[in-house]
Amino acid sequence: MLDVQLLRTDLDRVATRLADRPFVLDAQAFKSLEDDRKVVQTRTQELQAKRNALAKQIGQAKGKGEDAAPLMAEANAANAELGDLEKRLGDVQKRVQGFLATIPNLPHESVPTGQSAERNVEVRRIGAPRQFDFAPQDHVDLGAATGGLDFETAVKISGARFAVMTGPIAHLHRALAQFMLDVHTREHGYTEVYAPYLVNAASLYGTGQLPKFKDVPRGELGEFFLIPTAEVPVTNMVRDTIVPLEKLPLRYVCHTPCFRSEAGSHGKDTRGMIRQHQFDKVELVQIAHPAQSYDNLEALTGHAEVILQRLGLPYRVVVLCTGDMGFSSAKTYDIEVWLPGQSAYREISSCSNFEAFQARRLQARFRNEKGKPELVHTLNGSGLAVGRTLVAVMENYQRVDGGIDVPEALWPYMGGVKQVLPAQG
């Protein structure tokens, strides 16, 4: 959530910057809310001053033995009006908060301006795509060849955009998640978290999914929502807390399934595992000092990149333009891995700095150098999306016979298995 003072003091600049996302700020609606607030607050202050003056006069009258009844009646009337004003002020403040809750974050000044993904800017490219001496297959065909990836059974069990993995492919999927967790905890200083997969509405509001996004899937328990990402439960660990200065930055890593009602644009990426209703992700979350959060963003992005480098997967990093960023983000790097089956780079991680946008909703604070509470900055990124990493390994390490070589970094996690062989018969 944006600081309301930004809108009160520099509404035109905020509206101009939001237009780059693009988002049309209803400045007139905000001015109308502010006018209502000012009227109520001004009258409240007048009555409070009057009530204080009357209290003094009543005391003086009683001290002199004079009749204080008229003054007391006037004071009672002022108190009654103040009670009504408190209700009116609460209503106005609620409407202001509702208005603010629909406004996206302001893009950082370093974010390129643009209305769509075509204006994203490539920052770096690591590794060269493999040159095959045979026609490479995509992961769907490779999954069929190994017998370990079954979409037809998933349709029978659940429906479209789900997958069943068996045998070495399921093992490879598990190995990838374990490998990621070990690298991030042992080498990058993250604390592993096991978090709930069901959260309440307050948690989704805190990280910005509600009220903007209303298609978050609900669990059977009714009042709970299935998590769209581990960002939600992990970031909410610091909701309504004050973190000691010396503890920053907090670094957490969490492996969970993720659930999405909408798995992408209709008709897009319906083949295979690229866009699914359920997928696994290893999520990185940092709670940072505001003065250091952009250095933390670079570090977090680098931590995600290490996984791809250890696996020997070609990738590139792009900074998203204003029109392609998420609702809560101030700046986002997308890491895109090369998929031979599509002859294209595809997103495998998004690493974002939300500045104080989420923290303001969460009331997540730290004690600054002067000992005063101040909002933290929150960051997160995929480290990595496990299913898409599996897709990338399958396609980049495929063999002409339909088998798959296991990257050396995963050998310790595969019980000595170095190849996923094609199914026999």
Least confident of 44-58, 165-179, 212-226, 392-406: 212-226
Domain co-membership, 295 together with 410: yes
Q: Quote the domain boundaries for residue 358.
A: 117-420
Does residue 111 belong to any structural domain of this protein? Answer: no
Domain co-membership, 71 together with 219: no
- Three-state SS annotation for 175-200: HHHHHHHHHHHHCCCCEEECCCCEEC
Whole-number Å distance between alpha carbons of 315 and 298: 16
The residue with greater pLDDT, 272 or 215, is 272
Does residue 3 belong to any structural domain of this protein? Answer: no
Whole-number Å distance between alpha carbons of 280 and 5: 39
Does residue 385 belong to any structural domain of this protein? Answer: yes
- CATH classification at residue 394: 3.30.930.10
Q: Region 394-409: what's the mean pLDDT?
A: 98
Domain final position from 71, 101, 131: 101
pLDDT, the chain, mean: 94
Whole-number Å distance between alpha carbons of 335 and 327: 19
Q: What is the pLDDT at residue 214? A: 61
Least confident of 56-60, 172-176, 276-280, 284-288: 56-60
Least confident of 121-125, 209-213, 296-300, 373-377: 209-213
Encode pLDDT of 134-192 as tens digits. Answer: 999 999 999 999 999 999 999 999 999 999 999 999 999 999 999 999 999 999 999 99
Domain co-membership, 123 together with 95: no
Beta bridge partners of 398: 404
Whole-number Å distance between alpha carbons of 383 and 349: 7
Does residue 358 belong to any structural domain of this protein? Answer: yes
Q: Is residue 298 very low, low, confident or very high in pLDDT (cuts 50, 70, 90)? A: very high
Encode pLDDT of 329-348 as tens digits. Answer: 999 999 999 999 999 999 99
Would you say residue 351 has pLDDT above 70? Answer: yes
Cα-Cα end-to-end distance for the chain? 58
The residue with greater pLDDT, 271 or 343, is 343
Would you say residue 15 has pLDDT above 90? Answer: yes
Residues noted as catalytic: 260, 275, 347, 350, 388
Q: What is the pLDDT at residue 113? A: 97
Domain final position from 70, 101, 132: 101
Contact 323, 359 (CB under 8 A): no
Would you say residue 261 has pLDDT above 90? Answer: no
Domain final position from 101, 134, 165: 101
Number of domains forming the structure of the chain:
2
Does residue 298 belong to any structural domain of this protein? Answer: yes
Provide the 8-state DSSP code for 374. E
Instruction: Using alpha carbons, select from 418, 423, 348 the residue that is nearest to residue 390.
Output: 348
Domain co-membership, 198 together with 149: yes
Question: In 73-182, where do the E strands start and end?
Answer: 121-126, 149-150, 164-165
Tokens representing 43 are: 């009258």
- CATH classification at residue 36: 1.10.287.40
Would you say residue 9 has pLDDT above 90? Answer: yes
Q: What is the pLDDT at residue 61? A: 85
Does residue 21 belong to any structural domain of this protein? Answer: no
Domain co-membership, 45 together with 179: no
Domain co-membership, 135 together with 227: yes
Place of tokens 């809310």: 33
Contact 364, 239 (CB under 8 A): yes
Would you say residue 63 has pLDDT above 90? Answer: no
Does residue 11 belong to any structural domain of this protein? Answer: no
Domain co-membership, 259 together with 389: yes
Q: What is the pLDDT at residue 223? A: 84
Domain co-membership, 89 together with 194: no
Q: Is residue 226 very low, low, confident or very high in pLDDT (cuts 50, 70, 90)? A: very high
Q: Is residue 78 very low, low, confident or very high in pLDDT (cuts 50, 70, 90)? A: confident
Q: Region 17-25: what's the mean pLDDT?
A: 96
Would you say residue 273 has pLDDT above 70? Answer: yes
Does residue 5 belong to any structural domain of this protein? Answer: no
Domain co-membership, 177 together with 266: yes
Domain co-membership, 412 together with 288: yes
Would you say residue 216 has pLDDT above 80? Answer: no
Q: Is 318 helix (H, G, I), strand (E, B) or coil?
A: strand
Domain co-membership, 48 together with 159: no
Domain co-membership, 194 together with 72: no
